[in-house]
Amino acid sequence: MNDTLLLALPFAIPVLAGAIVLPFLRKNAQALAWVGLLTVVATVIATFLGPIKLETPEATTSWLGLFNISLALWDKQMFFLGFIFLFQILNSIYLLRHITRIPRPYLFMVFSLVAFGGACGVILAQNLLVMLIGWQMFLIALYALVLSGGDGTEPVAMKTLILGGASDFLMILGMLIYEHVASGELDISAHSHIATGSSFAAFTAFVLMFLGAGAKAGMWPFQTWIPEAAEAMPTPGFASLPASLSKILGVYFLFRICNDLFALSTAAKMVMFVFAIITIFAAIIPALVERNFKRVLAFITISSTGFMVAGLATSTVVGMIGALMFLLTHATYMAAMFYSAGNLEQAANGSTLEAIEGRKDILPYTVLGFLLALTAAVALLPTGGFLARQSLFDGLFESHNYFVFFFVWVGAIFNVAVVLKLAAVILAGWKSKNKADLGWTYVLPVIVLGIAALMGGFILDMNRDVLHRLLGANSDVIRDAWSLNKVSFVASFGVWVFGAALFFALRNPKGPEWSTFHFLRESKVLGRGYELAEEKTFDAYEVGLKVIHWIANQVFWHFERLMDRVADWCIRAGRNISRPALSSVHTGVYSNYLAWVITGLALVSALVLLR
């Protein structure tokens, strides 16, 4: 087995298992789940044991002489794959019982493995074309996993596919321009560092690739499918893809764009900051009044992308490390929260905040896992969320982006308030509820991910050398983030204080917890904004459909109908010309008609005989 095949095993094993093995088990949901778990375990073993036989964990081979397949499994790739493996193993355990609740289990399991393989391919790829293959496999799998939610999911799946395809088109176009600017170089590890300010083509390539990668992470304006998918997709599907894998892939590639492929100019940074700020508030403002638990988590997922983009845009070592730590911490605690949401939905027979607050069973272990994850979501010590936010704030201060810092800081305050509202909802009336919980397969992923979220600061600290090699930075950068005597810590402390104050000040102690912030719907300004949002006035997908329909109508009325009008005019003109002549010869006399017949017969006979 050559080096390339060994390195391709994390990609090949899940895809082949989904394509070859699972079709034989399509009528046995439990068998599908167990094979899925065994496939993930086999992939993990192959990933860690395969490269042992290699002198160097990197290989390149030519494919039909068209392009090179270049893969690598250095410690930085292993670091990200480790998180992906953790999520996928826990997701497979969750599925051992939950698989029977999925309307289309075979479709779900096949494309869950395809998404897993595609994600591994993106991380391993050292060539933009190879990465693009895994990227597109992930998009197709995402579309299929939305469809696995059963009847009524087709519109959401189509929206997911179209928005994902549109953003991927922008990214591919950016790659083509990048190839031209980089003189045919497609190797990500080449560290081209093309200055975005060197030419208009370089800046355009950066913006297009930034939009494509950002869309995969859930960045505005391509994010509108995520809240809808949160309702339509099965819980393990959303927890493992939009909440975790999709976020990791998008931000990972954004990092490679900002750190390896381009050197960012001031204009490029401003573009990133604008999208970051809009993404934060376009998601967190609706989350304040949203009444569906899963949709609230989806909005938090979207909002977090803005923080990561802001960190990468600083182009400082500490800011970019903060973005990566934010990515891994967020993927961990959000997966835990979404599994918790699935358990609570099952206990409450609904995913609305009202139903979850009024459920009969408290689900103590599920709630415990949610609260452990909450510590990272609000960035308390010693979580990775604390390290990430400290580093993000340090990066903004170091790059002198104080104006951006203010908006990021305010967005963090709103995030804390929203998360506290969710905690209040699930804890409401806990003393009077039954202490029952679901089975261990439902609870274990929540607890493990909750503990990982709580201990994330130590986990990231132990891997600071890997982060150092990713950026070529001194590992003391992470140690400095633990410092409690800096301006960034004062800012973090302010986030906790103002976030908690916002929640408790606007909470109605006599009303249900889900009604907190609900009065905003009645305000003259925000109320109208919420109405327009619910009507999808700001939805890029719906706006795009309206534009396409308008263009189609214009083409129909001004071009196709123009042809009809020209044809009608020709018919009317011909009729007006021929009608008088024909009317004059149609006298109704029999002898005239007989003469025309004889004349016609003579002409036809002459033509036949003369031929």
203-212: pLDDT as tens digits: 998 899 899 8
Residues 6+ apart with CB under 8 A from 94: 235, 236, 239, 339, 342, 441, 442, 444, 445
Q: With contact defined as beta carbons under 8 Å apart, do 142 and 132 qualify?
A: no
Confidence of residue 343 (pLDDT cuts 50, 70, 90): confident
Q: What is the pLDDT of residue 107?
A: 85
Query: For residue 133, which of 143, 142, 120, 146 has the smallest C-alpha distance?
Result: 120
Confidence of residue 270 (pLDDT cuts 50, 70, 90): very high
Give backbone dihedrals phi and psi of 123, rounded to 5 degrees, phi first: -70, -40
Residues 402 and 290 in one domain: yes
Q: Mark which of 538, 555, 589 sits at the end of a domain.
A: 538
Q: Mark which of 148, 177, 212 sits at the end of a domain.
A: 148
Residues 248 and 133 in one domain: no
pLDDT in tens, 92-129: 888 888 888 888 888 888 888 888 888 888 888 877 77
Cα dihedral 416→417→418→422 (10° resolution): 100
Mean predicted confidence (pLDDT) in 422-445: 83
The per-residue pLDDT of the chain, averaged, comes to: 81
Residues 266 and 398 in one domain: yes
Mean predicted confidence (pLDDT) in 192-201: 82
Residues 114 and 175 in one domain: no
Q: What is the pLDDT of residue 519?
A: 78
What is the extent of the structural domain holding 303?
149-538
Position 506 in a domain = yes
Residues 347 and 374 in one domain: yes
Residues 22 and 9 in one domain: yes
Confidence of residue 473 (pLDDT cuts 50, 70, 90): low
Among 59-63, 517-521, 543-547, the range scoring the smallest mean pLDDT is 59-63
Q: What is the pLDDT of residue 274?
A: 92
Top pLDDT among 63 and 378 is at 378
Mean predicted confidence (pLDDT) in 419-428: 88
Q: Mark which of 148, 177, 198 sits at the end of a domain.
A: 148
Q: What is the pLDDT of residue 475?
A: 53
Is the confidence at residue 578, as pLDDT, over 80?
A: no
Residues 349 and 236 in one domain: yes
Q: Are strands 58-63 and 67-72 parallel, antiparallel or unpaired?
A: antiparallel
Among 229-238, 264-273, 336-345, 548-557, the range scoring the smallest mean pLDDT is 548-557
Residues 175 and 127 in one domain: no
Q: How many domains does the chain have?
A: 3
pLDDT in tens, 222-268: 888 888 888 888 888 777 776 667 788 888 888 888 888 888 888 88
Mean predicted confidence (pLDDT) in 69-75: 75
- Which residue type, as a one-letter code, is found at position 346? Q
Confidence of residue 319 (pLDDT cuts 50, 70, 90): confident
Position 594 in a domain = no
Position 231 in a domain = yes
Position 603 in a domain = no
Looking at the chain, the whole-number percentage of residues with pLDDT higher than 90 is 4
Residues 518 and 558 in one domain: no
Q: What is the pLDDT of residue 59?
A: 67
Token output for 210: 């930034």
Is the confidence at residue 54, as pLDDT, over 70?
A: no
Confidence of residue 291 (pLDDT cuts 50, 70, 90): confident
Position 47 in a domain = yes
Position 201 in a domain = yes
- Asked if residue 221 has a cis previous peptide bond (ω within 30° of 0), the answer is yes
Q: What is the pLDDT of residue 276?
A: 92
Is the confidence at residue 449, as pLDDT, over 60?
A: yes
Q: What is the pLDDT of residue 21?
A: 76
Mean predicted confidence (pLDDT) in 142-152: 85
Say how far apart CA 120 and CA 10 lie, in whole Å. Answer: 6
CA 314 to chain centre: 23
Say how far apart CA 180 and CA 207 lie, in whole Å. Answer: 15
Residues 162 and 176 in one domain: yes
Among 1-5, 199-203, 217-221, 586-590, the range scoring the smallest mean pLDDT is 1-5
Residues 511 and 418 in one domain: yes
Q: What is the pLDDT of residue 104?
A: 85
Is the confidence at residue 269, as pLDDT, over 60?
A: yes
Residues 529 and 550 in one domain: no
Position 610 in a domain = no
Say how far apart CA 597 and CA 545 lie, in whole Å. Answer: 61
Position 589 in a domain = no
